[in-house]
Amino acid sequence: MTARAWTWTYEGYDPEAERLREALCTLGNGRFATRGAAPETRCGPAHYPGTYAAGVYNRLTSTVAGRPVENEDLVNLPDWLPLRYRIRPAGDPAPGPWLFPDHPQLTGHRRTLDLRRATLTRWSSYEDGAGRRLTVTERRLVHMAEPDLAVQRTVFTAEGWSGEVEVAAGLDGDVRNSGVARYRELDGAHLTGWETGSGDDGVIWLRCRTRTSGTGIALAARTRTAPRGGTARTDLTGRRAWRVLTVPLAPGAPATVDKTVALHTSLDRARAEPLTAALEAVRRAPAVPRLLASHHRAWQHLWGQVRLDVPGDAGRILRLHLFHLLQTVSPHTARLDVGVPARGLHGEAYRGHVFWDELFVLPFLNLHFPEVSRALLSYRHRRLPAAREAAREAGRAGAMYPWQSGSDGREETQRVHLNPRSGRWVPDHSRLQHHVGSAIAYNVWQYWQASGDTGFLHTKGAEMLLEIARFWASSANWDPALARYRIRGVVGPDEYHDAYPGAGRPGLDDNAYTNVTAAWALSRALELCRTLPEARRRPLFERLDLSHDERQYWDDVAHRLHVPYHRGLISQFAGYGELAELDWAGYRARYGDIRRLDRILESEGDTVNRYQASKQADVLMLGYLFSPSELAGVFGQLGYRLDDDVWRATVDHYLRRTCHGSTLSAVVHAWVLARVRRDDAWTYGEEALTGDIADVQGGTTAEGIHLGAMAGTLDFVQRGMTGLETRDRVLWLDPAPIPQLSKFGVRFRYRRHRGIELRIRADRVRLTVPDSEHAAVRARLRGRPFTVAPGTARELELPEV
Ligand code: BGC
């Protein structure tokens, strides 16, 4: 592995690219994360420092287009990064100007993200009018072993001159949520009640709380300098605390300022109130070299648990994706009450909300950190009462999970959103994406299949699965004319279509994805009802008041939900086939990038609802969730025949009519095309890989990474390309030939076996099971059974399809 394979370097300072780089250089540990912003300067057009702690939300009401709009946001916490400096060469009466990247004295800048050690190093050099050069190297980390700590070590070197550097190391509570321009009309002032202070030992602190959720937040910072001998004072204002130090500079001799910060909130478990905890944490924290060493060890351990051996650039990008995934959801997440934030802890887009994106994240985590998957599912389980309440309010039974979820599990989806192209606020009906419930059901099932955690499945898992199934059954209405059940008034994964053209009400009927996944969820719920041990079944049925008749009804719905077709293809929803064809070539010629076709058409006074044009995979999502044989099985159960020809024609149809307005779309298309063995699968694979590093959605990555797509690319290699499924206690393998990536390996955890290795090389497959006292692994390669005993490996030739 060359050093480059583990590092990302941005050479030079480019204000235009700064916010994107900040997002991609975010450091975090699953508990909190901080964007890779320059500490020398405050929030401004090029800079957006942001620190977010998992699960710290606050709700505010703003007035938008004359209407009150309530929004819950992941709160931008006080900034712990500030570190300003200026030099005073010996003999000069006063210090020079404060230095920062936008200052004309900047002569060089480099930022390197070291994935292996999880540190960010910024190197800058400045030269003043008299030719005196100062180099500054700042290295920072958000500690993976001590999840309340962050560290910043800054080394100053005077080249050929002497004097001193004055350093102001601060905690800045004067921050708000203003990282997304589209939200600028919304109130972003989430903090209140600031207090600052300092201790005898020079430790400064800041505390405040969120305005309506009342979460207490405290930060404490300890600074140490070498060499000593300078001055030190504390400067406290209402919302900021500074430690101002001078450090002597001798020519060529590095001077160091170490800043160690602790961040606590009142949501932390087993802690005193946040300020006491933060002060105690910095008091106890060892010196920076030891913190660096323990941080590196923690990451070494993490990297050992997840290995993807993929050569070349793809491997390098996948490592970056894995890095950001582990920074957002880490083993620490297992102790938190949090969901999967769609944009990581890396920015404020989508307000830190939790969508269905866990569908792209948990299947990957299941095979490495099942405890983390379990915790993320428990977040959903704790919000089951809110989902039940939502179903009741909608006149349904069971649990209706929200499309966007935050602190307490109520629906957080906004009712209007801004089209920046037209400047108009338009109604947002995306909350009709009830299919999020199926995603949770799917994850419950997948988690169990991969981990074998029957304890979870039979308790929390069963409650969620049964209540989601109940919701689907109560949403289905019998249509005597069709002799089928129908689910009406929903929105599918392609959220561009949210109503029939000219209709007075939002929602579409018979969304194929919704209905098929509903039928699947109902069947899994019934399967679970049959297999639950009696001691679990009876109390659960009593608690849920689930009768035999109701289960009979579920069974009927699971067999007779409607799936619409047009011209022999699966229709995205009833009536889809009658929609107009879009002039794709014309729109591409006029606009170039047409990913946000919804905004383009709205700004022209038209609507995407009139066209056969999708934002992202909708019907094709079925080929993402289910292997061809499983999908054919669900269709068969519903009384439809789904053969290869119909599926291939369906894939072709939607592929030509999708504009990929979501980063998830490329992941799904790569997967689906790989499964049907199409040569263009890798084109989408590459698009998914470059989604964030090249910011393909045009400026959105700066507002937060796309976590679902990042995790999706990892899972594309792990399960999509290998055809790996964990079904019925068997590891199913069916590698898809991708000539551009014909040699790779993955290591994963399956049930009780840790460190199973799967290597694919052209037409050979090698499965190695580490030594243990557990049972042999039962596997099937393209349907052919084989077993691998612990401590052995099997290498097999790939059978013809
Ligand atoms: C996509 C959704 C996704 C959301 C959050 C949207 O653009 O259409 O499918 O859940 O982003 O990532």
Q: Which residue's structure tokens are 């102001």? A: 168
What is the tens place of the pLDDT at every residue in 634-682? 999 999 999 999 999 999 999 999 999 999 999 999 999 999 888 899 9
Atom of ligand 1 nearest to the CA of 706: 12
Strand runs labelled E in 548-616: 565-566, 569-570
Please enumerate in sequence order all residues whose Cβ is within 8 A of that of 617, keeping only pairs 6 or more positions apart, or say none: 493, 494, 624, 654, 658, 664, 665, 668, 669, 672
Last residue of a domain, one of 303, 319, 334: 303
| Helix (H), strand (E), coil (C) string for 405-450 | ECCCCCCCCCCEEEECCCCEEEECCHHHCCCHHHHHHHHHHHHHHH
User: Are 776 and 787 contacting, i.e. CB atoms less than 8 angstroms apart?
Assistant: yes
Q: How far apart (Å, rounded) are the C-alpha atoms in residues 257 and 155?
A: 6
Task: Report residue 712's pLDDT band, with 50, 70 and 90 as the boundaries.
Answer: very high
Q: Is the CB of 707 under 6 A from ligand 1?
A: no
pLDDT given for residue 67 in this prediction = 85
pLDDT given for residue 64 in this prediction = 84
Does 752 lie in the same domain as 607? Answer: no
Write the DSSP string, 308-375. Answer: EE--HHHHHHHHHHHHHHHHHS-GGGGGS----BTTTTS--GGGG-B-GGGGGTHHHHHTT-HHHHHH
Give the closest residue to 651 by CA, choosing from 679, 619, 682: 619
User: Are 245 and 106 contacting, i.e. CB atoms less than 8 angstroms apart?
Assistant: no
Q: Which residue's structure tokens are 């976590």? A: 707
Q: Is the CB of 662 under 6 A from ligand 1?
A: yes
What is the tens place of the pLDDT at every residue in 79-88? 999 999 999 9
Q: How far apart (Å, rounded) are the C-alpha atoms in residues 113 and 141?
A: 10
Atom of ligand 1 nearest to the CA of 662: 7
User: Are 175 and 76 contacting, i.e. CB atoms less than 8 angstroms apart?
Assistant: yes
Does 683 have pLDDT greater than 80? yes
Peptide bond preceding 539 in cis form (omega within 30 of 0): no
Helices 663-675 and 644-655: angle between axes, nearest 10 degrees: 150
What is the tens place of the pLDDT at every residue in 56-85? 999 999 998 788 999 999 999 999 999 999
Distances (CA, A) of 576 to 486, 518, 597, 613, 650: 15, 20, 17, 10, 13
User: Is 332 among the domain residues?
Assistant: no
Average pLDDT estimate for 90-114: 97
User: Is 712 among the domain residues?
Assistant: no
Q: How far is the CA of 66 from the centre of ligand 1 (A)?
A: 27
Atom of ligand 1 nearest to the CA of 493: 9
What is the tens place of the pLDDT at every residue in 415-436? 999 999 999 999 999 999 999 9
Helices 644-655 and 628-637: angle between axes, nearest 10 degrees: 100
Measure CA 353 to chain center: 10
Instruction: Give the residues across from 552 on adjacent strands.
Output: none
Q: How far is the CA of 420 from the centre of ligand 1 (A)?
A: 18
Does 297 lie in the same domain as 415? Answer: no
Q: How far is the CA of 623 from the centre of ligand 1 (A)?
A: 18
Q: How far is the CA of 315 from the centre of ligand 1 (A)?
A: 25
pLDDT given for residue 800 in this prediction = 84
User: Is 324 among the domain residues?
Assistant: no
Q: How far apart (Å, rounded) are the C-alpha atoms in residues 746 and 592?
A: 38
Give the closest residue to 527 by CA, choosing from 619, 434, 633, 376: 633
User: Is 506 among the domain residues?
Assistant: yes
Q: Is the CB of 664 under 6 A from ligand 1?
A: yes
Q: How far apart (Å, rounded) are the C-alpha atoms in residues 541 and 529?
A: 9
Last residue of a domain, one of 628, 652, 669: 628
Does 131 lie in the same domain as 52? Answer: yes
pLDDT given for residue 319 in this prediction = 97
Give the closest residue to 305 by CA, choosing from 376, 359, 370: 370
Q: State if pTM tops 0.75.
A: yes
Q: Which residue's structure tokens are 């299949």? A: 449
Average pLDDT estimate for 579-600: 97
Does 185 have pLDDT greater than 90? no
Which CATH number characterizes residue 83's domain? 2.70.98.40
What is the tens place of the pLDDT at every residue in 779-800? 999 999 999 999 999 999 999 8
Q: Is 591 helix (H, G, I), strand (E, B) or coil?
A: helix
Does 513 lie in the same domain as 380? Answer: yes
Can 195 be counted among the known catalytic residues?
Answer: no
Q: Which residue's structure tokens are 């004309």? A: 104
Does 248 lie in the same domain as 135? Answer: yes
DSSP 104: T
Which CATH number characterizes residue 413's domain? 1.50.10.10
Q: Quote helix, strand, coil % in the chain, to nearest 5.
A: 35, 30, 35
Q: Is the CB of 356 under 6 A from ligand 1?
A: yes
Please enumerate in sequence order all residues whose Cβ is within 8 A of that of 327, keeping only pairs 6 or more positions apart, or say none: 26, 27, 28, 29, 30, 33, 118, 142, 344, 345
What is the tens place of the pLDDT at every residue in 425-474? 999 999 999 999 999 999 999 999 999 999 999 999 999 999 999 999 99
User: Is 325 among the domain residues?
Assistant: no
Does 404 lie in the same domain as 271? Answer: no
- Is the torsion defined by CA of 311, 314, 318, 319 positive or negative? positive
Residue located nearest, by CA, to atom 1 of ligand 1: 662
Burial class (CB in 10 A: 0-12, 13-18, 19+), 252: exposed
Q: How far is the CA of 342 from the centre of ligand 1 (A)?
A: 8
Of all helices (H) and strands (E), which one includes residue 19?
helix 18-24
Measure CA 462 to chain center: 26
Q: Is the CB of 355 under 6 A from ligand 1?
A: yes
Q: Is the CB of 700 under 6 A from ligand 1?
A: no
Widest Cα–Cα separation across the chain: 94
Q: How far apart (Å, rounded) are the C-alpha atoms in residues 23 and 692?
A: 9
Task: Using most ligand atoms within 8 A of CB, pick from 74, 435, 496, 662 the residue to mutate for ligand 1.
Answer: 662
| Active-site entry in 164, 166, 495, 703 | 495
Does 291 lie in the same domain as 385? Answer: no
Give the chain's length.
801
**Total domains in the fold of the chain:** 3
Does 1 have pLDDT greater than 90? no
Distances (CA, A) of 525 to 424, 456, 629: 44, 14, 20
Q: Is the CB of 495 under 6 A from ligand 1?
A: yes
Q: How far apart (Å, rounded) are the C-alpha atoms in residues 27 and 144?
A: 10
pLDDT given for residue 132 in this prediction = 97
Task: Indicate the average pLDDT of the chain.
Answer: 96
Does 152 lie in the same domain as 70? Answer: yes
Per the structure block, which two tokens stand in for 611?
């066209």
Average pLDDT estimate for 745-761: 95
The domain containing residue 606 runs over which residues? 369-628
Of all helices (H) and strands (E), which one includes residue 647?
helix 644-655
Q: Could you tell me the strand order of the sheet in which 27-28 lies? A: 27-28, 32-34, 51-53
User: Is 633 among the domain residues?
Assistant: no
Q: How far apart (Å, rounded) are the C-alpha atoms in residues 302 and 117?
A: 11
Does 475 lie in the same domain as 398? Answer: yes
Does 616 have pLDDT greater than 50? yes
Does 609 lie in the same domain as 498? Answer: yes
User: Is 479 among the domain residues?
Assistant: yes
User: Are 487 and 518 contacting, i.e. CB atoms less than 8 angstroms apart?
Assistant: yes
pLDDT given for residue 4 in this prediction = 85
Last residue of a domain, one of 628, 645, 668: 628
Q: How far apart (Å, rounded) are the C-alpha atoms in residues 423 and 428?
A: 15
For 28-32, 158-162, 559-563, 693-697, which range has the lowest pLDDT when averaged over its residues?
693-697
Strand bridging mode 83-89 / 163-172 = antiparallel
Distances (CA, A) of 618 to 169, 438, 654, 672: 50, 14, 9, 12
Does 578 lie in the same domain as 448? Answer: yes
pLDDT given for residue 2 in this prediction = 53
Residue percentage of the chain with pLDDT more than 90: 94
Written as one letter, the residue type at 650 is: T
Average pLDDT estimate for 336-352: 98
User: Is 698 among the domain residues?
Assistant: no
User: Are 343 and 357 contacting, i.e. CB atoms less than 8 angstroms apart?
Assistant: no
Q: Is 678 helix (H, G, I), strand (E, B) or coil?
A: coil
Q: Which residue's structure tokens are 């699947």? A: 520
Q: How far is the CA of 523 from the centre of ligand 1 (A)?
A: 27
Does 80 lie in the same domain as 209? Answer: yes
Q: Is the CB of 342 under 6 A from ligand 1?
A: yes
Measure CA 624 to chain center: 18
Per the structure block, which two tokens stand in for 760?
């694919």
Q: How far apart (Å, rounded) are the C-alpha atoms in residues 727 and 452?
A: 11
